[in-house]
Amino acid sequence: SMGMLISLTVAFVFTPWLTYKVLHRADSPANHPGADAPPLLSQGGENTSTTPPTEERETEDFAHRLFRRVVGPFLRGRQGRPLRWLLGIAVLAMIGGSISLAYFQLVVLKMLPFDNKSEFQVIVDMPEGTTLEQTARVLGELGRYLTTVPEVTDYQAYAGTAAPINFNGLVRQYYLREGANVGDLQVNLVDKKHRHRKSHEIALAVRGPLQEIGAQYDANVKVVEVPPGPPVMAPLVAEVYGLNYPGQIKAAQQVREVFSTTPDIIDVDDTVETPSERLIAHVDRAKAALLGVSQQAVAADLNTALRGEDVSYLHSATAKYPIPLRLELPIADKADRASVLDLRTRSQAGPLVPLSEIVDVETTQRENAIYHKDLLPVVFVFGDMAGRLDSPLYGMFEIFAKLGNLPIAGEPIEQFFVRQPDNPYAYSLKWDGEWQITYETFRDMGIAYGVGMILIYLLVVAQFRSYLVPLII
C-alpha cells in the first residue's frame, strides 16, 4: 500500500540522511584512547569510567549532555527508584487520559470518515400497495426542492426501479428494489473545487426538508452518501432473532421505536413490510360450466383487463419497429372492483356473460417477505446518526443502554456485539453495520501488529544474543 511505500522511503532515505546530518560530528570512541566505553554509573550513582572528567566534558556534545541530565536521574540505582516509579505512573496516567478522551466525547471515534464526493442518493420507500404514479409524484416533489439547492447541478429520478448499481448499492442490495412503491433520486453536485460546502454538509442540509416533503405522502425518505471506505448495509444495523417471525416483527417494532426516540438518530427503517390486501378471484366452476364459460377464458380476460395485452401492431414507414396496440382498462377502473366485475366474457354458446355472475372475490393479506441470515429468520432495523457527534458508535451504545431496561416479549432482550446469538429459541439482537467494520478492522490490524512485534523481537534477539534487551527496547 501507499503507507508501506512511504514508510520504506523514510527508513531507507530520510532516516540515514537525518542521521548523517545530526550525528556526523559525533566523536568516535576509536579516536579517543581510553574512551572506548561510555561512562558507567554504579548503583550508588558514582561515575566508574576511567576517562578523566575534563576529557569527558570536552568530548561530550549537546545530545550527550541532554541525555545525561534527563535520563541520568532515573539510572541512579536505588536513588533513582522513586523517580522510575513516578515515571511509570505518569506514563500510565497519560495513557489512561488519552483513552478517556473518547469516553468523555472530547475525541469522536468514527471508523468511516466523511468524504467530499460529487453525488449522493435519495432513497424513497412508499407503503406497500402504492401506485407507480403516486411514487413518481413524490419523486417529482423531491426533485423540485433539490433544484433550489445551489450546489445541485442535476438529478435523475427512477420510479419503480433502482438507480444504476454502484459499490454501495451492491452491498445494500439495491438491485432488489423493484416495485411500484420504491424510487431513487441520483443527485449530482458541482465539482468540489467550485463549492464551499462539502457533500456531507449538503446532505445534512437537505435531509430535513426532503423528509418533510416525504412525510406528507407517508414516504420514508433517506439520504445516502457515497462512503469513503467499505460500504455497509447501514451505519446502524440491529438484527432481531427469535422463535417465530410474527414475534420477531413485534420485537423489531419496539427496537425501531427506541431508534426513533433516541436523539440524533435519523433515517430509521426496517425490513417489515406494510400489510396490504390481496384479492383472489374464485371461479364458480359449476355455474360457469352451465353458462358455457371456461376458467381459462375468465383468467385470460382478467389478465387483459388488469395487466394489458398487445392485440395488434401498427406498421409505419417512419418507425423502425412495429407499434403495439395494447388493450387494458384505464387506471381508475383497475382500482374499482365493480368496474372489473362488470366486464363480460363470451360463452361457447355466443352470449356475453358478466364476470360478476361466475366470479367471487376473496380479500386476504399479502404474504410478506421473510429475511434470513445464516439460515435463521431475521428482521433488520436500520438507522444513522447526525448531530454534534455524528458517529454511529455513540448512538449504538445509547440504544444498547435503553434496550437493556426495555422488556421485549416479557423479558429484556439479549444483545450481542461480536458473535452471533447461540439460542434461536429466545429473542436476541445482534449489532452490525459500522460497528462490525470497526471491530473487524481493529481486530485484524491488532493481529497483524502482534505478528510484526514477535518478528521484530526475534530479529533483535538474534542481533544482541539476549532475550532481555529486546524487551527493554
- Number of residues that this document lists for the chain: 473
Tens digit of pLDDT for each residue in 310-345?
989 999 888 889 999 999 998 888 888 888 999 999
379-407 pLDDT, tens digit each: 999 999 987 888 888 899 999 999 988 88
pLDDT in tens, 64-122: 888 888 888 888 888 888 999 999 999 999 999 998 988 888 888 777 778 899 999 99
Strands 352-354 and 152-159: unpaired
Buried b (16+ CB within 10 A) or exposed e, 420-452: ebeeeeebbbbbbbbbbbbeeeeeeeeeeeeee
DSSP lists the bridge partners of residue 105 as: none
Nearest-CA neighbor of 131 among 332, 338, 305, 368? Answer: 332
d(CA 179, CA 158): 11
The secondary structure of 30-63 as a DSSP string is: GGSTT-SS---B-TTS-B--SS-HHHHHHH--HH
Number of CB atoms found within 10 A of residue 413's CB = 21
CB neighbours of 386 closer than 8 A, spacing ≥ 6? 204, 207, 264, 266
Question: Which string of b and e fits 86-122 if b means at least 16 CB within 10 Å?
Answer: eeeeeeeeeeeeeeeeeeeeeeeebbbebeebeebbb
pLDDT tens string 435-451:
898 889 889 999 999 99
pLDDT tens digit string along 2-35?
878 898 888 889 888 888 887 765 555 544 554 4
Cell of 363: 380479500
Q: What letters, b where the CB count within 10 A reaches 16 and e where it falls short, cover 362-380?
A: eeeeeeeeeeeeeeebbbb
- What is the pTM assigned to this prediction? 0.75
**Amino acid at residue number 212:** E
Residue 284 and residue 359 in contact, taking contact as beta carbons nearer than 8 Å: yes
Query: For all residues of the chain together, what is the average pLDDT?
Result: 86
Return the number of other C-beta atoms located less than 10 Å from residue 395's C-beta.
24
Q: Where are the alpha helices (DSSP H) in 10-148?
A: 15-23, 53-59, 62-71, 81-103, 132-146
Smallest Cα–Cα separation from 112: which of 395, 391, 443?
A: 391
52 pLDDT exceeds 60?
no
Domains and CATH numbers, the chain: 37-107 (no CATH), 119-274+371-440 (3.30.70.1430), 277-365 (3.30.2090.10)
Instruction: Provide the b/e sequence for 22-46 (b: ≥16 CB within 10 Å).
Output: eeeeeeeeeeeeebeeebebeeeee
What pLDDT score does 129 carry?
Answer: 82
